[in-house]
């Protein structure tokens, strides 16, 4: 029955183990000491009763998963009904194969070994010094960190020990015992992996090439007379040097004429066809913001003088409001002159049309 129990334990250890995986924390080169308490299930033909005892092992890990161990097990077992004991002093060398990586919480192992046993019944019998073999399995359960050079594990073990003896008084032929043990495993000098290599420092990429310089600005448009108005829109070429000119390059004297400014009949409402002329006036005044302007409104003689006076005032104010709304900052006033300052005869249709006008009179400034 004891052999069957041990066989199940060994098979379970081997099945759970598998092959160890190298993870940089193996046991190679480490030594260890294993003090353990044990309980021995003696061969049924032996005289003594089963009993507790102890064993101590000293080992060396010469491969990542393989260790060699020297075990000493000096135990005595009482023989019932007598005052005598049977002393079983075993000294063995075992080889352990450990499964799973060191960092696993539980590491099953299998063992196989042999050695010598002194078997003495009673205090005065002969010391029967015989060979033994043993096989079994166990598990190492990590206690704390298992990656440093010093490691501690809880150790459990079960093994079958066969003693080769015959023709000895009170000792059965080739008895076999099962020993179940538990204790601690103290390991010293275990290798630790080197620190991880620092990631290579990558040189920063070279800076991008500077952008190409901007293209040179285009040459200014030609201005043959130097009045500040390009030739393409200059309506008065060859303006004398130093003259103030309007938006189309013509000399400004006392007044900026706003031809083709039209209003709704008998109203100060500007008609859409007046916009081009008003934009011309605004552009000219923006060139000379220091000029002081009087916006003058005029009518023909149709209607009463009083009515024409009021209408011309409203039309002058309408033009001044448009100029201010479109960015003109000059100092400006609006004044209506009615029919008092005609520039043509009111007797003809064409004359009356010329008299209905708005102009920008320069009344101050440099």
Q: Which of 262, 363, 361, 268 is nearest to 310 (CA)?
A: 268
pLDDT bin (cut points 50, 70, 90) of residue 178 is very high
At a CB cut-off of 8 Å and minimum separation 6, what does 221 contact? 230, 231, 232
Residue with tokens 């009949």: 265
- The whole-chain average pLDDT of the chain stands at 87
Q: Are 248 and 229 in contact (CB under 8 A)?
A: yes
Instruction: Answer with the residue of higher pLDDT: 280 or 15.
Output: 280
Q: Look up residue 266 and give its DSSP letter.
A: T
Residue 186 has pLDDT above 50, yes or no: yes
Buried b (16+ CB within 10 A) or exposed e, 258-280: beebebeeeebebeeebeebbeb
pLDDT of residue 24: 55
pLDDT of residue 10: 42
Residue 40 has pLDDT above 90, yes or no: yes
pTM over 0.75: no
Q: How far is CA 100 from CA 88, 112, 303, in A?
A: 34, 18, 119
pLDDT bin (cut points 50, 70, 90) of residue 184 is very high
Q: Are 114 and 131 in contact (CB under 8 A)?
A: yes
Residue 318's SS3 state is helix
pLDDT of residue 20: 38
**How many CB atoms sit inside 10 A of residue 319's CB?**
26
pLDDT of residue 366: 75
Low-confidence winner among 49-58, 244-253, 259-268 (lowest mean pLDDT): 244-253
pLDDT of residue 325: 95
Residue 21 has pLDDT above 60, yes or no: no
pLDDT of residue 282: 92
Q: Are 65 and 46 in contact (CB under 8 A)?
A: no
Q: Which residues pair with 155 in a beta bridge?
A: 140, 183
The model's pLDDT over 333-359, given as tens digits with 9 standing for 90+, comes to: 999 999 999 989 999 999 888 888 999
pLDDT bin (cut points 50, 70, 90) of residue 191 is confident
pLDDT bin (cut points 50, 70, 90) of residue 251 is confident
Phi, psi torsion values for 121, nearest 5 degrees: -105, 125
Q: How far is CA 71 from CA 35, 56, 159, 184, 335, in A?
A: 10, 6, 13, 14, 127
pLDDT bin (cut points 50, 70, 90) of residue 312 is very high
The model's pLDDT over 95-141, given as tens digits with 9 standing for 90+, comes to: 999 999 888 889 999 999 999 999 988 876 678 899 999 999 999 99
Residue 216's SS3 state is coil
pLDDT of residue 88: 93
At a CB cut-off of 8 Å and minimum separation 6, what does 140 contact? 98, 106, 107, 109, 153, 154, 155, 185
């Amino acid at each position: 029955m004891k052999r069957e129990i041990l066989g199940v334990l060994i098979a379970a250890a081997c099945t759970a183990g598998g092959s160890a995986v190298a993870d940089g924390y193996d046991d190679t080169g480490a030594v260890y000491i294993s003090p353990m308490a044990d309980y021995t299930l003696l061969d049924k033909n032996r005289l003594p009763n089963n009993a507790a005892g102890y064993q101590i092992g000293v080992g060396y890990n010469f491969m990542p998963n393989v260790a060699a161990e020297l075990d000493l097990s000096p135990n005595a077992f009482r023989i019932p009904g007598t005052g005598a004991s049977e002393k079983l002093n075993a000294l063995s060398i075992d080889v352990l194969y450990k499964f799973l990586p060191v960092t696993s919480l539980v590491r099953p192992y299998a063992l196989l070994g042999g050695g010598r046993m002194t078997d003495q019944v009673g205090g005065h019998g002969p010391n029967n010094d015989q060979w033994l073999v043993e096989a079994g399995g166990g598990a190492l359960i990590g206690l704390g960190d298992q990656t440093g050079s010093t490691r501690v594990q809880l150790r459990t073990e079960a093994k079958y020990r066969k003693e080769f003896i015959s023709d000895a008084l009170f000792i059965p032929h080739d008895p076999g015992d099962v020993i179940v043990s538990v204790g601690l495993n103290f390991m010293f000098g275990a290798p630790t992996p080197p620190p991880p290599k620092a990631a290579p420092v990558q040189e920063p990429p070279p800076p991008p090439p500077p952008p190409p310089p901007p293209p040179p600005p285009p040459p200014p448009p030609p201005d043959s007379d130097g009045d500040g108005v390009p030739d393409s829109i200059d309506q008065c070429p060859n303006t004398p040097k130093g003259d103030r000119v309007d938006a189309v390059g013509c000399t400004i004297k006392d007044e900026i004429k706003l031809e083709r400014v039209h209003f709704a009949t008998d109203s100060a409402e500007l008609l859409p066809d007046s916009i081009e002329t008003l934009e011309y006036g605004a552009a000219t005044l923006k060139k000379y913001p220091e000029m002081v302007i009087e916006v003058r409104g005029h009518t023909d003689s149709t209607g009463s003088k009083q009515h024409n006076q009021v209408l011309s005032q409203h039309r002058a104010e309408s033009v001044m409001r448009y100029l201010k709304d479109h960015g003109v900052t000059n100092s400006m006033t609006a004044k209506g002159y009615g029919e008092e300052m005609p520039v043509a005869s009111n007797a003809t249709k064409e004359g009356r049309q010329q008299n209905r006008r708005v102009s920008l009179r320069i009344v101050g400034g440099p």
